[in-house]
Amino acid sequence: MRLTDRQRLGEQYADDARLALRIETHRRFSERPDHTPAWVVDLLAPKAEALVLDAGAGNGGYHPTLERRGVRVLAVERVMGMIRSVTGSRATFMAADVQALPLPSDVVDHSMANHMLYHVPDIPRALTELARVTRPGGRVALTTNGNLRESPLQQLHRRAARELGIDADVAIATDRFGDHNLGQVRRVFPSAEKIVQTNALVFPKAAAVLAYYASGPVDSVREPTDETRRELLKRVDELVRQQIAAGGEFRIPKRVVCYLATSP
């Protein structure tokens, strides 16, 4: 599956069911409490009444943390299904593409783009747009994951695909925007620094691993179909159960990367 394929992304994010499952998995199975929104917002450090652009806002997962600070939120999301999933947020929502924001220059105090830039076809253009709409001196937080190719779950996925003759030689999210993109970010935001938070997912049983895998990673193949999903889910389930039987748990180290910058 191409990470920027609009049809596939429309299916993946037609509503927030898959995203909500992944968020709940991180909440329940993280080795230490997962407070990523609070961590990112603390880095952004907006003052009360500041206007913050949340690009690729998804289901508004960062909004409670922002709103507790008395911040005004302008939430942009390309996929309308995600916007319809939001409840309880006081944000102003706009359906738009981060590559061409329908906003004047220097209109927001700070900007954030969390776990979404790897889906953007033209990342430099999106970064330039975020710089354009953020007032000079405003902070910008760009959040992603560490190298997911190192993930034990990704390694089992690729092993299962090889065994089943399924072509999994495709890009994954952090190939496009992960912990190696500081140079790219600095071409637009020269002050950018990389800040990393580490944790781990620890699963005592296979069922939760499989639900997490089924919410998205299973489709990291050349041509995802119902048949490839069934075959991969069955084989990965077997492999995960073997590891839990041998070690008592299935562990996935995780790294959250935030590129923090000041708008020029």
pLDDT at 113: 98
* Residue 184, in any domain of the structure: yes
* Residue 1, in any domain of the structure: no
* Residue 112, in any domain of the structure: yes
Taking 90 as the threshold, does the pLDDT of residue 229 lie above it? yes
The C-alpha angle with vertex 54 and arms to 52 and 60, in degrees rounded to 5, equals 115
The whole-number average pLDDT for the span 76-95 is: 82
pLDDT at 17: 86
Q: Which of 67, 70, 101 is nearest to 86 (CA)?
A: 67
Structure pTM?
0.93
The whole-number average pLDDT for the span 235-257 is: 98
Q: Report the C-alpha gap between 210 and 1 in whole angstroms.
A: 19
pLDDT at 11: 57
Q: Report the C-alpha gap between 206 and 218 in whole angstroms.
A: 15
Taking 60 as the threshold, does the pLDDT of residue 6 lie above it? no
Residue 185, exposed/middle/buried by CB under 10 A (0-12, 13-18, 19+)?
buried
Taking 70 as the threshold, does the pLDDT of residue 205 lie above it? yes
pLDDT in tens, 139-190: 999 999 999 999 999 999 999 999 999 999 999 999 999 999 999 999 999 9
Going by pLDDT thresholds of 50, 70 and 90, the confidence category of residue 14 is low
Taking 80 as the threshold, does the pLDDT of residue 13 lie above it? no
pLDDT in tens, 41-79: 999 999 999 999 999 998 899 999 999 999 999 999 987
Taking 80 as the threshold, does the pLDDT of residue 84 lie above it? no
The whole-number average pLDDT for the span 225-233 is: 97
pLDDT at 85: 73
Q: Residue for token digits 């995960």?
A: 240
Taking 90 as the threshold, does the pLDDT of residue 193 lie above it? yes
pLDDT at 7: 54
Q: What is the chain's mean pLDDT, rounded?
A: 93
Q: Report the C-alpha gap between 191 and 7 in whole angstroms.
A: 36
Residue 133: CATH number of its domain: 3.40.50.150
pLDDT at 256: 97
The tokens for 19 are: 């995203």
Number of domains in the chain: 1
* Residue 239, in any domain of the structure: yes
Q: Residue for token digits 């929104």?
A: 37
Taking 90 as the threshold, does the pLDDT of residue 108 lie above it? yes
The whole-number average pLDDT for the span 220-230 is: 96
pLDDT at 141: 98
pLDDT at 93: 92
The residue range of the domain holding 238 is 6-262
Q: Report the C-alpha gap between 225 and 261 in whole angstroms.
A: 40
pLDDT at 150: 95
Query: Helix, strand or coil for residue 131?
Result: helix
pLDDT at 59: 87
Taking 90 as the threshold, does the pLDDT of residue 225 lie above it? yes
Could you tell me the strand order of the sheet in which 139-145 lies?
92-95, 72-77, 51-55, 110-114, 139-145, 250-262, 193-203
* Pairing verdict, β 92-95 and 110-114: unpaired
